[in-house]
C-alpha cells in the first residue's frame, strides 16, 4: 500500500474506532456511572466529542502512534459492546447495584489480583508481538502491538482503581440507591434506600415484570387507593 494513502486510511479508522468507543460507552452507561476511567466520569458528552476531534489529525503527524490509538480504541469498544446487551437489559442503576452486591461477596485482594492477572495476560500478548518486530519504533506492526499493551495497561490501572474505590465505599457503608416515585397528584416523592432495601424491591419488581420505579409507583397508587 502506498505510504501516501496511510494517513488518510488511518484518519478514517481513527474516526470509526473512536466513534465505536464512544457509542459503546453511551450504550452501556449514558450517565457515565459505570465508567471505569475516573477522569472521564466527570466529563459530559459534548466535551467528550470535542476532546476526540483532535485525534483525527494524529495520523498526519505520527501514523505509528495513531495506529496504537486505533488498536486501543477498537479493543476497548469491542470489550464494552460485548457487555452492552446485558447492561442495557439491567439498566445502569441495576447493573451498578449488582456490581455492589458482587463486591460485598468478594475481597479486594482477590478482585484486584484476578483483574491484574487478566490485564497482564493481555499485555504479555502485546509485548510478544512487539519483540517479534524487526524494527522497533519504526514498523507499524510494532505500534499496533503497543496498542494491545496499552489496552492491558488501561485495564490494569483503571479497573483496579475503580475496584479500590468501590470497596472503600462498601467498607464505609456509603451505598445508597435513589428511587423517584411519581404520585397521582403529580408530586415527586424521593425515597432514600439502602442497597439491601433496593435489592429486595428490585426482586419484587421482577416478579411483576416491572422496573423498580414502576413497581414503587404501583405500590404508592395502591396504598393511596386503600386510604380513600
Q: Where are the alpha helices (DSSP H) in 83-139?
A: 84-90, 92-104, 108-132
Do 185 and 84 have their domain in common?
A: no
Do 114 and 191 have their domain in common?
A: no
Do 61 and 150 have their domain in common?
A: yes
Average pLDDT of the residues in 188-213: 65
Do 206 and 127 have their domain in common?
A: no
Please say if the pLDDT value at position 61 is more than 80: yes
pLDDT digits (tens, 9 = 90+) for 85-133: 777 777 777 777 777 777 767 788 888 999 999 999 999 999 999 999 9
Do 153 and 55 have their domain in common?
A: yes
User: How many domains does the chain contain in total?
Assistant: 2
Residue 195 CA to its chain's centroid (Å): 21
- Asked whether the whole model's pTM tops 0.85, one would answer no
Do 78 and 57 have their domain in common?
A: yes
pLDDT digits (tens, 9 = 90+) for 103-114: 767 788 888 999
Q: State the pLDDT at residue 142.
A: 97
Residue 194 lies in a domain: yes
Residue 1 lies in a domain: no
Q: State the pLDDT at residue 182.
A: 43
Average pLDDT of the residues in 51-80: 95
Do 42 and 64 have their domain in common?
A: yes
**Which residue do the cell numbers 424521593 mark?**
190
Where is the domain boundary, 148, 171, 194? 171
Where is the domain boundary, 144, 171, 198? 171
What whole-number distance in Å separates Cα of residue 74 and Cα of residue 214? 37
Do 184 and 148 have their domain in common?
A: no
Do 207 and 109 have their domain in common?
A: no
Do 92 and 112 have their domain in common?
A: yes
Contact 110, 163 (CB under 8 A): no
pLDDT digits (tens, 9 = 90+) for 140-199: 999 999 999 999 999 999 999 988 888 887 666 544 444 444 444 445 555 555 556 666
Residue 44 lies in a domain: yes
Residue 221 lies in a domain: yes
φ, ψ dihedrals at 205, nearest 5° = -65, -35
φ, ψ dihedrals at 172, nearest 5° = -85, 0
Where is the domain boundary, 171, 196, 216? 171
Do 20 and 91 have their domain in common?
A: yes
Exposure letters 38-56 (e unless 16+ CB within 10 A, then b): eeeeeeeeeebeeebeebe
Do 79 and 165 have their domain in common?
A: yes
Identify the band that residue 62 occupies on the pLDDT scale cut at 50, 70 and 90.
very high
Give the residue numbers spanning the domain of 46: 6-171
Amino acid at each position: 500500500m502506498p505510504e501516501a494513502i496511510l494517513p488518510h486510511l488511518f484518519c478514517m479508522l481513527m474516526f470509526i474506532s473512536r466513534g465505536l468507543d464512544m457509542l459503546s460507552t453511551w450504550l452501556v452507561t449514558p450517565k457515565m456511572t459505570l465508567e471505569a476511567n475516573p477522569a472521564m466520569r466527570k466529563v459530559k458528552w459534548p466535551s467528550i466529542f470535542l476532546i476526540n476531534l483532535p485525534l483525527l489529525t494524529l495520523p498526519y503527524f505520527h501514523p505509528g502512534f495513531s495506529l496504537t490509538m486505533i488498536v486501543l480504541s477498537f479493543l476497548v469498544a469491542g470489550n464494552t459492546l460485548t457487555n452492552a446487551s446485558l447492561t442495557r437489559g439491567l439498566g445502569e442503576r441495576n447493573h451498578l447495584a449488582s456490581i455492589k452486591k458482587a463486591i460485598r461477596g468478594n475481597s479486594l485482594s482477590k478482585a484486584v489480583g484476578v483483574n491484574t492477572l487478566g490485564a497482564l495476560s493481555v499485555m504479555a500478548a502485546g509485548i510478544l508481538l512487539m519483540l517479534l518486530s524487526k524494527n522497533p519504533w519504526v514498523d507499524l506492526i510494532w505500534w499496533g502491538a503497543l496498542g494491545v499493551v496499552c489496552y492491558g495497561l488501561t485495564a490494569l490501572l483503571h479497573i483496579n482503581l475503580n475496584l479500590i474505590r468501590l470497596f472503600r465505599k462498601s467498607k464505609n457503608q456509603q451505598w445508597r440507591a435513589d428511587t423517584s416515585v411519581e404520585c397521582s397528584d403529580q408530586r415527586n416523592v424521593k425515597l432514600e434506600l439502602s442497597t439491601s432495601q433496593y435489592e429486595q424491591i428490585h426482586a419484587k419488581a421482577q416478579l411483576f415484570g416491572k422496573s423498580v420505579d414502576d413497581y414503587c409507583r404501583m405500590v404508592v397508587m395502591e396504598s393511596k387507593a386503600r386510604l380513600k
